[in-house]
Amino acid sequence: MFVNTGCVEVDMEKESTTQAPEVDFELTSDQTHNRWSSAIEPVLTVPSGSVIKVGTEEASDQQLDVNSTLEDLANLSFDPIHPLTGPVYVENAEPGDVLKVTLHKIEMGDWGWTAIVPGFGFLADEFTEPYLKTFELGKDKKTAKFSENIEIPLKPFPGVMGVAPDTEEMLSTIPPRENGGNMDDPNITEGSVVYFPVLVEGALFSIGDTHAAQGHGEVCGTAIEAPMNIIYEVEVIKGGRTISEPQYETDDYYAVTAFATTIDEAARKATRYMIDFLEEEKGMDRQDAYALCSLAGDLKIAEVVDVPHMLVSMHIPKDIFK
């Protein structure tokens, strides 16, 4: 997908790479906030094309550690949940533009946790007792030991990332919105390229809530929550196709995302967004695009627990286009 950046054309279907380029700027895991608002001052200003390395804390913001107990979980406060590293102000990003974020490298920290928090989760009415499990991780770990006979493949990704919404209200980070936020989409991993609609001047991009592993849905309300280091690149795309909600791609597929208060409505929105993409970027007739979504599009539930919104994506494979 080619878009005009004003000076050069950017190929949005170009293969991504996991080899990180040289870092231009660095942010530490204490340069954070945990709300979405245009009123939050940026901690860094960068030109388009900058490569940034950030540290992220796990979702509890250090309320838990590898030795935590159920008593610690009982004292967990939701107030500091989701520390997000940023915001980063990207020069020349204006409402109506698209912010392209390439996840070049994701490196896990040494530990992680998952929990059932009473009152939270897809089956909160059925699972009312607290539960906590911690894991020893590390940057070279490939699996996490869940039990003596179960090992989970690790696939680290940021659960939350997005741009600032067009409001000075301090919004909770829990639900996903048009700005991105708590998408909890386990497909957005190292090498992915994510596109966000710019809603305010400078975009004000933030990232955090990093997960070492998560199933589609995140049904109990948590993944393997873990601190990480991420190297990402930001680019402002001007004069191209506008998008209403985040979209992303890998070497293998292009994807759209959609939030709503029900899975049904989120799935309907995602289908429309993919039809729009096929019509505008592939030159397809709208009826053909709708049929192709039925034949080759894959609807996937990203998460169902971040009330009041749920997130659904649709993927279309790239290799069907000759």
Any idea what the CATH number is for the domain that residue 155 is in?
2.60.120.580
Confidence of residue 20 (pLDDT cuts 50, 70, 90): confident
Q: What is the mean pLDDT of residues 249-263?
A: 98
DSSP string over 163-227: PPPS-SS-B-SSS-BTTEEE---TT--TT-EEEEE--STT--EEEEEEES---TB-TTS---B--
Domains contained in the chain, number: 1
The string of pLDDT tens digits covering residues 203-216 is 999 999 999 999 99
In a domain, 32, yes or no: yes
Instruction: Supply the pLDDT for residue 19.
Output: 72
Q: Under the phi-then-psi rule, with left for phi > 0, alpha for psi from -120 to 50, and beta for the rest, what region is 233? A: beta
Q: What is the mean pLDDT of residues 44-71?
A: 98
Q: What is the mean pLDDT of residues 217-234?
A: 98
Query: What does the DSSP 8-state code read for residue 104?
Result: E
pLDDT at 192 over 60: yes
In a domain, 257, yes or no: no
Instruction: Supply the pLDDT for residue 14.
Output: 42
In a domain, 118, yes or no: yes
Instruction: Supply the pLDDT for residue 18.
Output: 52
Confidence of residue 144 (pLDDT cuts 50, 70, 90): very high
The string of pLDDT tens digits covering residues 60-98 is 999 999 999 999 999 999 999 999 999 999 999 999 999
Q: What is the mean pLDDT of the chain?
A: 94
In a domain, 237, yes or no: yes
Pairwise CA distance, residues 161 & 91, whole Å: 19
Confidence of residue 41 (pLDDT cuts 50, 70, 90): very high
In a domain, 6, yes or no: no
In a domain, 155, yes or no: yes
Read off φ and ψ for residue 266, nearest 5 degrees: -60, -40
- 172 Cβ partners below 8 Å, 6+ apart? 35, 36
Instruction: Supply the pLDDT for residue 197.
Output: 98
Instruction: Supply the pLDDT for residue 4.
Output: 39
What residue numbers bound the domain in which 41 lies? 20-241
- 322 Cβ partners below 8 Å, 6+ apart? none
